[in-house]
Amino acid sequence: LFALPAIASAQWHIETGINQGYEWNIFKNPEQLVEERDTLQRNRLWQNSSFNELSADIEYEFDWENSRLQLMTVLSSIFYHQATEAHEFSYDVGASFRTNFADGKYFELSPEFSSKRQEGIEATDPVFSSRLSYRQLKLPLELDIYLGNLAWLRFETMYRSRRYDQRNDKQTSYSAYYFEALFKQSVDGSGRFDHEFEIENRTRYRDQVTADIGEGGTVLDKDFRQFTKTETELVYRLQNRQDLFEIEFPVQGTLFFDHPSSSLNYRELEFGSEVDVTVGRAEVSFGIDRTFRRFNNFEVGSPGEKLFYAYWSGDAGVEFELSSNIFVTVEASYTTRTSTRQRLTTAFYREYTNSYIQ
């Protein structure tokens, strides 16, 4: 840490990690699939493997008067021992400029570029199947306003551009536009607890292009689609004043629109709880989440039967401080999805289960 007399300061923050774990069903395949009269069972469809993850998070922060500048780089490599095709490498480079330009008003600009390299395809995406590898640019702009009496109002807009790697002579890319508005109210409890309420609305528009690629990279044809997603979330948070525990109860509703076909329009309800507890030098967290997604027009099975998903997901973690700046962390995650699509000749829009421990 170094400082310029009374007006500025700067500091570095470097965090590295080495993780060992095991993941079941890495590519989120169903338990049964029929291919050319051959029925594949779970033991041939699921890719399970132990893995090692190496990560580094490097941040530089410079503060002066009412402003702050952050520079950030995150690197991560995951090596799967029994499923080499699942190896993953990603990096994220970004910056954040935040300033208190008026009393109780803050402006923040946070450009970010990221890249992910991994073989395989994403078979569970509700919009399209694509390669897992991509390059992405994000340009978010945020305005925070303190309303007084422990109340905050936040507006955020963002542009995002993502280009997936080419797959089977096709390449998908999209430009997306986001707008978010959040109101947060904190309440000082009369006893040992504080309360916090949040309501947030997020609207996202995606302009997507899938191009047919010929020899020499020539674009032969393009397919255009647009998607709009609107989410409204309510959160209640209860916190112990000594920071011994925090309990969170979020509820979120989503409307998704597929233009112009409407084939993937859906409604979704998600709710759950998250608990964080401090026990001595250990921090314990666990949560559970339930999600229902009903498609309006996507027919599966018998005539009139629509595609419907139901998810259960849960996670748990323990972080223990061995000594100053050295921590040991254990994490586990479990997600399962049921689906009304029972067609055994495809892996898309089917049920799956995925879990890991590290």
Lowest mean pLDDT among 154-163, 300-309, 312-321: 300-309
Which residue type is seen at 292? F
User: pLDDT tens digits for 177-208?
Assistant: 999 999 999 987 667 788 999 999 999 999 98
pLDDT in tens, 273-291: 999 999 989 999 999 999 9
The pLDDT mean for the chain works out to 90
Of residues 260 and 246, the one with the higher pLDDT is 246
Q: Burial level of 349, CB count in 10 A (0-12/13-18/19+)?
A: buried
pTM beyond 0.75, yes or no: yes
Measured CA to CA, the distance from residue 12 to residue 73 in angstroms comes to: 12
Which of the four pLDDT bands, split at 50, 70 and 90, describes residue 347? confident
Mean pLDDT throughout 325-331?
92
| pLDDT (0 to 100) of residue 98 | 97
Find where tokens 């018998």 sit.
302
Share of the chain above pLDDT 90, in %: 64
User: In 3-state terms, the chain is what percent helix, strand and coil (to 5)?
Assistant: 5, 75, 25
- Which residue intervals of 89-129 are DSSP H helices? none
Q: Note the pLDDT of residue 5.
A: 44
* Listed ranges 100-104, 303-307, 322-326; the one with the highest mean pLDDT: 100-104
Closest C-alpha among 274, 217, 219 to residue 251: 274
pLDDT given for residue 212 in this prediction: 80
What pLDDT band is residue 6 in, cutting at 50, 70 and 90?
very low
- pLDDT at res. 184: 96
Q: For residue 4, is pLDDT > 50? A: no
Mean pLDDT of 219-247: 89
Q: Give the CA angle between residues 334, 336, 202 to the nearest 5°.
A: 90
Q: CB under 8 Å, gap of 24 or more: what pairs does 93-100 form?
A: 94/138, 95/69, 95/70, 95/71, 96/68, 96/69, 96/70, 96/72, 97/67, 97/68, 97/69, 97/70, 98/67, 98/68, 98/70, 99/66, 99/67, 99/68, 100/66, 100/67
* Nearest-angstrom CA–CA distance, 149 and 55: 41
Which three-class secondary structure string do you get for 145-185? EEEECCEEEEEEEEEEEEEECCECCEEEEEEEEEEEEEEEE
Bridge partners, residue 208, by sequence:
174, 225
Specify whether the CB–CB gap between 7 and 62 falls below 8 A.
no
Residues 200-212 pLDDT 10s: 999 999 998 888 8
The token duo for 208 is 């997507």
Per-residue confidence band for 166, with pLDDT thresholds at 50, 70 and 90: confident
pLDDT at 127 (0 to 100): 58
Q: For residue 170, what pLDDT is reported? A: 80
User: What letter represents residue 188's amino acid?
Assistant: D
346 pLDDT higher than 80: no
Q: Is the pLDDT of residue 3 over 60?
A: no
pLDDT over 50 (residue 33): yes
Q: Please, which pLDDT band fits residue 354 given cuts at 50, 70 and 90?
A: very high
Among 147-151, 203-207, 235-239, 259-263, name the one with the lowest average pLDDT.
Answer: 259-263
Q: Is the pLDDT of residue 343 over 90?
A: no
pLDDT for 333 equals: 98
| pLDDT > 60? residue 1 | no
- Examine the pLDDT at 168 and tell me if it is beyond 80: no
